[in-house]
Amino acid sequence: MECLWMVVGVSGAEESLELVKRLWERDGPFDGIMGFSQGAMLAAVVVAKALSDEDYSVRPRFGVFCGAAFPLPFATLLEEPREECSGSIPTLHVMGKTDQINPPQQGNKLADCFPEAKILWHEGAHTVPSDSVSIEAVVSFCKIACSD
């Protein structure tokens, strides 16, 4: 099985990023961006673009990435030093301890790219956790990020 974190090029990724940008400009602004699996990887790239380009029109106050891996096609953007960034965007990386689709070490590698990353572990696999403790943690993270 080929996973996004293993491939060098991705068909449709730039179009997806452009769609997020158009929707943000048309219907936003929104407080944050959240995604699951490949959607989480796309959301992470959006946050990385916002951190590296102050003219980028998508300006989330936070990112929540569930079951994400490190998207290799965007390694250069994600691994850029963030010391020169204007502002910061906190991120929450939600990872399943038994995820076999996007293994936790890939999620950790992605989290390492964001200076304000927090990690939330759950007992499940490649899922968005629905237990009350995880939901409360995500809601709390979003509220704190929006209060800054």
Give the separation between CA 91 and CA 114, rounded to whole angstroms: 7
Q: Measured over all CA atoms, what is the biggest interatomic distance in the chain, rounded to whole angstroms?
A: 42
Q: What is the pLDDT of residue 5?
A: 47
Model confidence at 116, in pLDDT bands (50, 70, 90)? very high
Give the separation between CA 32 and CA 4, rounded to whole angstroms: 23
Q: Compute the mean pLDDT over every residue in the chain, rounded to the nearest whole number.
A: 89
Q: What is the pLDDT of residue 1?
A: 44
**Domains, the chain, with CATH or none:** 13-147 (3.40.50.1820)
Mean pLDDT of 46-58: 92
- Give yes or no for residue 21 having a pLDDT over 50: yes
Q: 85-98: per-residue pLDDT in tens? A: 557 899 999 999 99
Q: Which active-site residues does the annotation give?
A: 37, 99, 126
Q: Please tell me the pTM assigned to this model.
A: 0.89
**Torsion angles phi and psi, residue 66, rounded to 5:** -105, 125
- Give yes or no for residue 13 having a pLDDT over 90: no
Q: What is the pLDDT of residue 85?
A: 56
Contact in structure between 32 and 60 (CB atoms under 8 Å): yes
Return the SS3 of 124: coil
Alpha helix ranges (H) inside the chain: 13-27, 38-52, 75-78, 104-111, 132-147
